[in-house]
Chain A
Amino acid sequence: MFPLRQREFESEAVATLPLVLEGLCAGFPSPADDHVEEQIDLLALLMPNRPATFLWRVDGHSMRDAGIFHGDLLIVDRSLVPRHGDVVVATVNGERSLKRLWLDGPRPRLAFENAEFPAYPVPEEAEVDVWGVVRCNVHWLAGRR
């Protein structure tokens, strides 16, 4: 058996987007006022459900072909229900590792995503659990991280 944890909460993540409002202005109104839009709130975009969102650090290259590199920062959202094809932080025999989750077969599979790696074998008796679904990956191209 491959006991993936039962997800009891089915609804999508709750998103709260703060509305950026113009302050009152005495004097000549700005000609741009009618064209002002909300600013982009990157945090709300990347972490729509803050209480369920945790940051993880990647150690290793086994997910290179998924665009996830050693040292990258993962935004993991525990309120997401794991779906076919998600990248997940999985617990296999007491160790937390990063894998692609496939749900198309008779039982769930976990896989590396690096052509230079052999296929990932989940031992028959392994206890497997999804800790959280990776919502996105932060990969710096310049500057500190």
Chain B
Amino acid sequence: MTVFALVDGNSFYCSCERVFDPRLVGRPVIVLSNNDGCAVARTPEAKALGIRMGHPFFLIRDLCRDHGVAVLSSNYTLYGDLSARMNEVYGLFSPHVEVYSIDESFLDLSGMGGRDLAAHARELRATVRQWTGIPTCVGLGPTKVLAKLANWLAKHAPELGGVCDLTDPPRRLEAMARIPVAEVWGVGPASVAKLDGIGCRTAADLAGLDHALARRLLTVVGERIVYELQGLPCLELEEVAPQRKGCAVTRMFSRRVDDLPTMLEAVAAHTTRLAEKLRHHGLATDVLTVFFHTSTHDQGPQHGAQRTVHLIEATNDTLALLSAARAAVEAIWREGFRYSKAGVMGVGLIRAEEAQRPLFGALDRERSARLIGALDAVNARWGRGTLVPAAAGLKRPWATRFERRSPRYTTRLDELPVARARG
């Protein structure tokens, strides 16, 4: 029988912070998005105070102060490192692991030869907790949609001890009757409204829906979900991340930007990062889209601009992409607005080695490869941002804020946790 497990970290970002800072244990903790904009992770104590996912921080600043909520900027370096460690541990419990997001992975537990799967899942959970310090929940099911549903139950029914097994059909039906249809993976608000119209309100209702009706109402995606809920797998494990079709670097500014030199600098910095990301994944792009816009939260005139530039050949060369991005910004720049966000996107990505050469005007690949190789080597050795094109700016007053970020405990020699050896 096919069995999937979905493992995810509980309040993952907050749990990462708690591993290293004992003062955060037992009190409400939230982690803010880029630029300290809104809450993106909350411990149960923080949820109990009414702090929602995506709650803008300026609305809850007073609440946090009055209730002693620990408020942290996101520390993605730390979260990424702990996530990688967790996935290494998963690999000891299943030969097939699909990393679905920074805090969720699917494991294939098929063919465990009659082993007690729930016991296996409990051992996995205990090992991850002991080795990495991160508490998790595990959902087991014959399909990915059911594993995800089981994980939801494991999270919401504390008496299950963090593991919920929905592989057994009678038990599954009984449990699904208690789960709102909105909690089913892939069912969005629009689908919930449609389903509500025909009286389909629980996961069990959806599992009983006629396939043709499901397809008519929710397209082929909805039909697949119905099959999956019935225990018939339609979704396979994707162990190798599918090749990225697009890659973007977008950031809110820490303050509004209203002059061209600053905008050029910011876009150049984003482009530099985009080129690094492309090289990391062995990808190249021949289409670069640059955009910036004002914020609808601001008073005053609104404006957004976007420009797509086609390069003569697909590349991931920082300097080639920089000159394209610069041309795009200069072409669409308009004075008189206070811009809040800018971004660059590579679309239509191809594998770098498959890039076609143009007959005329080709980039000098050898020269560029040596230069970029040196750039990456320096940044790998001394930390990202050590060597940057001057166009990307050195002071960066516009850069995203991380005012409350904790130390990068696991990746920086000068930010390691400190063991007190004093009287």
Name A residues whose Cβ lies closer than 8 Å to a Cβ of B. 7-9, 14, 49-52, 54-63, 68, 70, 73-74, 78-79, 89, 91, 94-98, 112, 117-118
Q: Which of B37-45, B84-92, B305-313 contacts the other chain? A: B84-92
B420: CB under 8 A from chain A? yes
Chain B residues, CB < 8 A from A8: 123, 126-127, 129-130
- Does B88 lie within 8 Å of A62, measured CB to CB? no
A113 to chain B, nearest CB (A): 9
**A56 with B132: CB separation less than 8 A:** no
Q: List 7 A-B contacts (CB under 8 A).
A: A8-B123, A9-B130, A50-B85, A50-B88, A51-B84, A89-B419, A97-B419
Q: Is B416 an interface residue (CB 8 A)?
A: yes
Q: Confirm or deny: B158 has a beta carbon within 8 angstroms of a beta carbon on chain A.
A: no
Which residue of the partner chain A has the closest CB to B415? A57
Known interface pairs A14-B92, A51-B89, A54-B410; A98-B130 also in contact (CB < 8 Å): no
Distance in angstroms between the alpha carbons of A52 and B85 in the assembled complex: 7
Contact mask for chain B residues 113-130; partner A; CB cutoff 8 A; 1 contact, 0 none: 000000000010011011
Q: In whole angstroms, how far apart are the Cα atoms of A70 and B126 in the complex?
A: 33
Q: CA separation between A8 and B124, bound complex, in Å?
A: 10
A58 to B420, CA, bound (A): 6
Cα-based distance from A9 to B122 in the complex (angstroms): 11
Task: Give every chain A residue within 8 A of B85 (Cβ-Cβ).
Answer: 50-52
Complex CA gap A73/B25 in Å reads 25
Number of A-B contacts (CB under 8 A): 91
A59 close to B422 (CB less than 8 A)? yes
**B417 at the binding interface (Cβ < 8 Å):** yes
| A79-B419 contact given A95-B22, A96-B22, CB 8 Å threshold | no
Using A78-B130, A78-B133 as known contacts, say yes or no to A98 and B417 having CB atoms under 8 A apart: no
Q: Which residues of B contact A68 (CB under 8 A)?
A: 421
Q: Does B421 contact A78, Cβ atoms closer than 8 Å?
A: no
Cβ B127 vs Cβ A9 within 8 A:
yes
Supposing A9-B127, A51-B89 touch, asked if A59 and B417 sit within 8 A by C-beta, the answer is: no
- Chain A neighbourhood of B126, CB < 8 A: 8-9
Complex contact A51–B132 (CB within 8 A): yes
Beta-carbon contacts under 8 Å, B359-405 to A: none
Contact pattern, B 60-99, Cβ under 8 Å of A = 1, otherwise 0:
0000000000000000000000001110110010000000
B160 to A: closest C-beta gap in Å: 17
B199 within 8 A of A: no
Find A95's partner among B129, B410, B420 (CB 8 Å cutoff).
B420
Check A78 against B420 for contact (C-beta < 8 Å).
no
Query: Chain A residue with minimal CB distance to B421?
Result: A60
Once the chains bind, are B23 and A94 in contact (CB under 8 Å)? yes
Given A50-B88, A54-B417, A112-B423: A79 and B130 interface contact (C-beta under 8 Å): yes
Find chain A residues with CB under 8 A from B421 CB.
Answer: 58-63, 68, 70, 97-98
Docked complex Cα distance between A50 and B132 (Å): 10
CB distance from B62 to the nearest CB of A (A): 26
Quick check: is B131 within 8 A (CB to CB) of the other chain?
Answer: yes
* Interface hub of B92, B129, B130 (most chain A Cβ within 10 A): B130
Residue in A54, A62, A78, A97 with the greatest tally of chain B CB atoms within 10 Å: A54
Q: Which residues of B contact A50 (CB under 8 A)?
A: 85, 88
Any A CB within 8 A of the CB of B418: yes
Tell me the nearest residue of chain A to B410, going by C-beta.
A54
Q: How far is the CB of A115 from chain B (nearest CB, A)?
A: 13
A57 adjacent to B422 (CB under 8 Å): no
**Smallest Cβ-Cβ distance to B125: which chain A residue:** A8
Known contacts A9-B127, A50-B88, A96-B22: A59-B419 contact under CB 8 Å = yes
List, in ascending order, chain A residues with CB within 8 A of B419's CB.
56-59, 74, 89, 96-98
